[in-house]
Amino acid sequence: MRHSSDFASVLRGGAHGRGGPLVVHQRLAGGEGPPLVGFVVGRGVGSSVQRHLVTRRLRAQMAHRLVMLPPGSGTVVRALPAAAGSSSAELGAGLDQALARLAGRQ
């Protein structure tokens, strides 16, 4: 995801589920194509260096989970302040937990 309108559409119109230090918002679209994924890592997570580290870890973890996302869907992963002290494995477990909750609702 690259446009603020894409993020807003998912955050306003989608379901959300929490997993550990993450909140995952997802909006299903009836279209085809690859799923779109965006990340929100705000200042509450920490300094610029910490935020970028969390973003890189989330991007790497999400790359392995793209096959789990419905085609054409939009997903936004929002990091909570506790994500700054989380390892890649903990972030991955949080993603799995949140995605499982979302799958159960849809």
Tens digits of residue pLDDT in 51-74 = 999 999 999 999 999 998 989 999
Domain range annotation of the chain:
4-105
Q: Cβ–Cβ contacts within 10 Å for residue 69, how many?
A: 20
Within 10 angstroms of residue 7's Cβ, the number of other Cβ atoms is 19
Q: Over range 24-35, report the average pLDDT.
A: 87
Task: Write the pLDDT tens digit of every residue in 32-47.
Answer: 889 999 999 999 999 9
Q: How far apart are CA 22 and CA 61, in angstroms?
A: 12
Quote the pLDDT of residue 106. Answer: 55
pTM assigned to the model? 0.91
Contact status, residue 43 vs residue 54, Cβ threshold 8 Å: no
Percent of the chain with pLDDT over 90: 81
| Model confidence at 13: pLDDT above 90 | no
Name the class of domain 4-105.
alpha beta
pLDDT band at 105 (very low <50, low <70, confident <90, very high): low
Percentage of the chain lying above the pLDDT 70 cut: 97
| Spatial separation of the C-alpha atoms in residues 30 and 42, rounded to whole Å | 30
